[in-house]
Amino acid sequence: MLPKHRASDVKGLVRNGPELVRPPVTNAHRLIEQSAVGLKNPFDFRFHVGSISGSEITPHIHHFTEVTLTLSGGILHTYGDEKTTLHTGSIYVIPRGASHALSQAKGWHYLNIYFLSEGLESRLPGSPEEGSALAPYLASGVSEWKVSEKTFLRAKKILDLLSEKGVEKMKGRHLFEQSLIQSLLILFGSEASGNAEGFKDRRVGSWQTFVRENADLGAKELLSKIAETEGLSPARVSKIFLESTGESFQNRLLRAKILKSCNDLLLGELSITDIAQRYGFFDLAHFSRLFKRVTSMTPRAYRDSFKKGTAK
């Protein structure tokens, strides 16, 4: 049986009903942060298995990458303007610095894995290109997909090994756990990158990679480049993208621009105005408005919160 975790105290506000309250027990955001405490080694993985029902986790940002598999139940996942209902087998990847929230939990049982992306290339096979296990974890934006039944059952078997009696006392426990979590990430990542189930059209995966890598370009130019490569019209590319992902090409590009700008804001080498110009926004006001729409924060507040060490 999989272990379940409960938080003993809270951080921030959790919505439980019509009013904002501070519940005495469950706040998964605090539990997540507790599970990832001390995560400074880029070659380390952390994980926990937990349950939520009836609570809301307000928008927040982590200093690590978070990978979550829904084991049972369901919950509403929100990032920017996007809302997705997660069910058994659903996976999402939240890169460091991206904002997301969870609500309307109905017996949601989940696995969370946390890591710093800097050391990932030495731990997972392949290159960061599409088609390797690395690709979904090094993307600049939020990724979501659903694993096949076969992959889900394999993941459950690995989790059974992690929760077996005696594991806590075994010698070499840390290496044992790290190896199994690494296996899970390879299992999930390989399917997301190489399985056509995630998209109705296999070409869309490579298009998304191209968008992420060239987020400083405009939508018209990107569509033209993809169309030329595929022998299609830009309008056809846009239509295929929407039909396969449920998201417009323009909106996907916007999220890629915003999430790449997050890295520039954290580095602190460019002014906010320079960052806005770098990613093709009309002006600072335009950049700030769209940045807040995606992350729930202004660019300045985002940069300042990390300087103060308050954004997690």
What's the per-residue H, E or C state across 39-50? CCCCCCEEEEEE
**CA atoms of 169 and 254, how far apart (whole Å):** 48
Q: Which residue has the higher pLDDT, 28 or 190?
A: 190
- The answer to whether the beta carbons of residues 253 and 211 sit under 8 Å apart is yes
Q: Which residue has the higher pLDDT, 99 or 271?
A: 271
Query: Is the predicted pLDDT of residue 197 greater than 60, yes or no?
Result: no
Specify the DSSP class assigned to residue 198. Answer: G
- The answer to whether the beta carbons of residues 204 and 241 sit under 8 Å apart is yes
CB crowding 183-219: b at 16 or more within 10 Å, else e = ebbbbbbbbbbbeeebbeeebbbbbbbbbbeebebeb
Mean pLDDT, residues 39-57: 78
Mean pLDDT, residues 294-306: 77
> Which of 23, 9, 94, 37 shows the shortest CA–CA distance to 60?
94
Query: Is the predicted pLDDT of residue 9 greater than 60, yes or no?
Result: no
Q: Which residue has the higher pLDDT, 20 or 112?
A: 112
Mean pLDDT, residues 4-15: 27
The whole-chain average pLDDT of the chain stands at: 75
> Which of 198, 216, 201 shows the shortest CA–CA distance to 261?
216
**CA atoms of 55 and 205, how far apart (whole Å):** 34
Tell me the pLDDT band of 173, cut-offs 50, 70 and 90. confident
For the entire predicted model, the pTM comes to 0.56
**CA atoms of 127 and 310, how far apart (whole Å):** 33
* CA distance readout (Å), 102 to 8, 19, 153, 248, 250: 19, 16, 25, 23, 25
Specify the DSSP class assigned to residue 85. Answer: E
Q: Which residues is 112 bridged to in the sheet?
A: 48, 68
Per-residue confidence (pLDDT) for residue 121, from 0 to 100: 65
Mean pLDDT, residues 293-309: 73
Per-residue confidence (pLDDT) for residue 274, from 0 to 100: 95
- The answer to whether the beta carbons of residues 101 and 60 sit under 8 Å apart is yes
What pLDDT, in 10s, does the model give residues 229-253? 999 999 999 998 888 777 789 988 9
- The domains of the chain, with CATH numbers, are 14-195 (2.60.120.280), 203-307 (1.10.10.60)
Tell me the pLDDT band of 128, cut-offs 50, 70 and 90. very low
Tell me the pLDDT band of 182, cut-offs 50, 70 and 90. confident
- The answer to whether the beta carbons of residues 192 and 198 sit under 8 Å apart is yes
Neighbours of 288 (CB within 10 A): 18
The strand pair at 90-94 and 14-15 is best described as unpaired
Per-residue confidence (pLDDT) for residue 12, from 0 to 100: 27
> Which residues are CB-neighbours of 248 under 8 A, at least 6 positions away?
238, 241, 242
